[in-house]
Chains A and B, each alone.
Chain A
């Protein structure tokens, strides 16, 4: 789950990395109390859970005279469809130089990867493409609690020395907060030293509980509801509902729908050992989406019992058509149960998907 900017900045501040003076406000009326500390010119940033906030009008410049007016304007905006409920009012820094610092999980080396460049102020993807030699990279053995000084020296290069401890503190955050990504972009120098002007932290979904996070904000309400049933669920915008077991098989089912020219309404992985109650819940959940016209059930596996699955589908008793592909134990029994209730059961995933696309065409 991605932390909001002010949450990430709090984490960073607690770890001893300086951040600009900033205040979280929930209405424009809360701003005047902080005007003294913010200085003459400051910036107002909407705290919404979407990317590309700046371009969408979520970041506004303000000063003492116009502050409240500008804040009111921001609170009245919608950023990519989301209302603005929280705004971070933050001091504007007199920046001398911008740097980029990022720590991420590197799949290839299976270790934390630390990236630092003195060529900040440009999009990192652009630098990576045009001047990859300007980005310094180090992979660190994750068993290290601290980065050894030689690694810090290598990363910092000719940049100010006080950046070394900042890199190590961010590395400690990365490890201790179960981050998948911890990024300071830009890391800036001013006359008063180094500051994290913006920060991004993504927490591992599998570690939310031990980090004390109870609600995953990255998920929609229906996605969270599905999670309670133990399903992996992603909402899409087509009309063919999909239920599969296993992430790969379910994804392959979605791809096949696209291959035959249809559009999937969702991704739902029921997980292993799907009993009738689970299957019933899954079918009802998918059927509750108004745009779903037909549901494809594609279940395969050694331990999935087809008669259980069939009972679940029948018990769900939904208005939409359900097309089923089942392979596993008690296949004949499942087929018989479904046939008796008039459900269509086909032999391969190609066949069920083709059929579903025909129904919605």
Chain B
């Protein structure tokens, strides 16, 4: 397990909003299925004393921390308030902070991540679907029905593309240890390097699927940082330069971060790269065959 397990108490920031309320429901349905603690507290300034799906809401993160044992937080607040939420949680001592919110200005994200780092917190996201360890814990918005417990880790900059890959894996009988959506923004807290380090220390994870996309070189950095067997897929081979492909971070700038050179560098490093998502399960099997 990485980042949390059944025993991790989760706080939801933005609990009384439409998104927050909806996903507290889904996260706690999952927690009940697997016998976990799930969401134990919500926070919305000014709404303290209310309840959302039976979960008590507090005005501040510190208030919630006084009443509950909390190890992780999931943020659903609007973009203008999200950086503040990250810093409030880090300041209160929460170790893992998952930020679902998208459209946060990069300058705000950089400051919040720098601050969280100083407080010793790990930020996943922003602009991410969160993470799910099948049979243990769900922090975020991933559709739990597609997952199956197993020993392949998945790290991705995308949301729905991750579900597509997980769906392919599950259908092929390949279960997952933990699936982490690290986010589609140019600046994100936990990068491939950070998550791979956690997977290396996780006895359950035997191989990793690394799903990247155009923009930057975090995928190559990640692949170079680990000895774990990896299969990769990079989206955006057909993406034109200087155009943002949906994600704020998915852009080929100044001739850098295009999919083809990314794929070439990964392959040079010995990482097999799938041309299509549907090839991934067979490549994972191949990986296990070679290593056995």
Q: Do A and B bind each other?
A: yes
A interface residues (Cβ-Cβ under 8 A, vs B): 51, 105, 107-108, 110-112, 125, 141-143, 175, 178, 180, 204-207, 210, 232, 234, 236, 244-252, 254-259, 264, 267, 269, 272, 300-303, 327-328, 348-350
Contacts of B184 in A (CB 8 A): 247-248
Can you list 6 A-B contacts (CB < 8 A)? A142-B107, A249-B158, A251-B246, A254-B238, A254-B239, A255-B236
Contacts of A257 in B (CB 8 A): 238
Q: Residue on B with the closest CB to A238?
A: B238
Is the C-beta of B235 less than 8 angstroms from some C-beta in chain A? Answer: yes
- Majority secondary structure, A binding face: mixed
Is the C-beta of B243 less than 8 angstroms from some C-beta in chain A? Answer: yes
- Assess A248 versus B107: contact at CB under 8 Å? Given A205-B244, A255-B236: no
Is the C-beta of B213 less than 8 angstroms from some C-beta in chain A? Answer: yes
Please measure, in the bound complex, the distance between the C-alpha atom of A301 and the C-alpha atom of B129, giving whole angstroms: 12
- B221 contacts A302, CB within 8 Å? no
- B156 contacts A256, CB within 8 Å? no
Contacts of A178 in B (CB 8 A): 105-107
Within the complex, what minimum Cβ distance (angstroms) separates A96 from chain B? Answer: 28
Please measure, in the bound complex, the distance between the C-alpha atom of A175 and the C-alpha atom of B160, giving whole angstroms: 32
Q: Which of B63-113 contact A (CB under 8 A)?
A: 79, 103-107, 110-111, 113
Contacts of B105 in A (CB 8 A): 178, 204, 206-207, 210
Q: Residue on A with the closest CB to B259?
A: A255
Q: Which of B129-183 contact A (CB under 8 A)?
A: 141-146, 156-164, 167
Within the complex, what minimum Cβ distance (angstroms) separates B80 from chain A? Answer: 8
Please measure, in the bound complex, the distance between the C-alpha atom of A243 and the C-alpha atom of B87, giving whole angstroms: 36
Contacts of A112 in B (CB 8 A): 110
- B211 contacts A248, CB within 8 Å? yes
Contacts of A267 in B (CB 8 A): 239, 245-246
Contacts of A259 in B (CB 8 A): 237, 275-276
Contacts of B215 in A (CB 8 A): 107
- Assess A180 versus B106: contact at CB under 8 Å? Given A245-B160, A249-B160: yes
Contacts of A108 in B (CB 8 A): 191, 216-218, 221
Within the complex, what minimum Cβ distance (angstroms) separates B202 from chain A? Answer: 24
Partner of A250 from the list B79, B115, B157, B246 (CB cut-off 8 Å) is B246
Closest 10 CB pairs of A and B: A248-B158, A302-B143, A247-B246, A246-B160, A248-B161, A207-B105, A232-B246, A142-B110, A251-B235, A249-B160
Of A248, A267, A301, the most chain B CB neighbours within 10 A belong to: A248
Query: How many pairs of A and B residues are in contact by the CB < 8 Å rule?
Result: 163
Within the complex, what minimum Cβ distance (angstroms) separates B102 from chain A? Answer: 8
- Assess A301 versus B110: contact at CB under 8 Å? Given A207-B105, A234-B240, A264-B238: no
- A204 contacts B107, CB within 8 Å? yes
Is the C-beta of B206 less than 8 angstroms from some C-beta in chain A? Answer: no
- A302 contacts B142, CB within 8 Å? yes
Within the complex, what minimum Cβ distance (angstroms) separates B54 from chain A? Answer: 21
Please measure, in the bound complex, the distance between the C-alpha atom of A141 and the C-alpha atom of B129, giving whole angstroms: 27
Within the complex, what minimum Cβ distance (angstroms) separates A311 from chain B? Answer: 21
Please measure, in the bound complex, the distance between the C-alpha atom of A110 and the C-alpha atom of B22, giving whole angstroms: 31
Is the C-beta of B38 less than 8 angstroms from some C-beta in chain A? Answer: no
Q: Residue on B with the closest CB to A111?
A: B110
Q: Residue on B with the closest CB to A142?
A: B110
Within the complex, what minimum Cβ distance (angstroms) separates B65 from chain A? Answer: 24
Please measure, in the bound complex, the distance between the C-alpha atom of A327 and the C-alpha atom of B249, giving whole angstroms: 26
> Beyond the given A248-B184, A302-B163, could you list 7 further A-B residue pairs with CB under 8 A, ordered by the A residue number?
A142-B110, A207-B106, A245-B160, A248-B160, A251-B236, A255-B259, A302-B144
- Assess A107 versus B216: contact at CB under 8 Å? Given A143-B111, A349-B164: yes
Please measure, in the bound complex, the distance between the C-alpha atom of A29 and the C-alpha atom of B97, giving whole angstroms: 59
- A252 contacts B145, CB within 8 Å? no
- A141 contacts B248, CB within 8 Å? no
Interface size on B, residues (CB 8 A): 66
Please measure, in the bound complex, the distance between the C-alpha atom of A328 and the C-alpha atom of B213, giving whole angstroms: 24
Contact with A along B245-256 (1 / 0, CB 8 A): 111111000110
- B276 contacts A175, CB within 8 Å? no
Q: Residue on A with the closest CB to B254?
A: A125
Is the C-beta of B56 less than 8 angstroms from some C-beta in chain A? Answer: no
- B107 contacts A258, CB within 8 Å? no
Contacts of A350 in B (CB 8 A): 276, 278
Within the complex, what minimum Cβ distance (angstroms) separates B150 from chain A? Answer: 20
- B156 contacts A248, CB within 8 Å? yes
Contacts of A234 in B (CB 8 A): 240, 243-245
Contacts of A110 in B (CB 8 A): 110, 113-114, 187-189
Contacts of B271 in A (CB 8 A): none
Contacts of B104 in A (CB 8 A): 206
Within the complex, what minimum Cβ distance (angstroms) separates A264 from chain B? Answer: 7
Is the C-beta of B287 less than 8 angstroms from some C-beta in chain A? Answer: no
Contacts of B143 in A (CB 8 A): 301-303, 328
Please measure, in the bound complex, the distance between the C-alpha atom of A157 and the C-alpha atom of B252, giving whole angstroms: 32
Please measure, in the bound complex, the distance between the C-alpha atom of A244 and the C-alpha atom of B244, giving whole angstroms: 15
- Assess A248 versus B110: contact at CB under 8 Å? Given A105-B187, A234-B243, A327-B167: no
- A111 contacts B164, CB within 8 Å? no
- A255 contacts B187, CB within 8 Å? no
Q: Residue on B with the closest CB to A236?
A: B240
- Assess A248 versus B187: contact at CB under 8 Å? Given A178-B106, A234-B244: no
Contact with A along B194-226 (1 / 0, CB 8 A): 000000000000000001011111100100000
- Assess A248 versus B157: contact at CB under 8 Å? Given A178-B106, A255-B235: yes
Contacts of B229 in A (CB 8 A): none
- A251 contacts B213, CB within 8 Å? yes
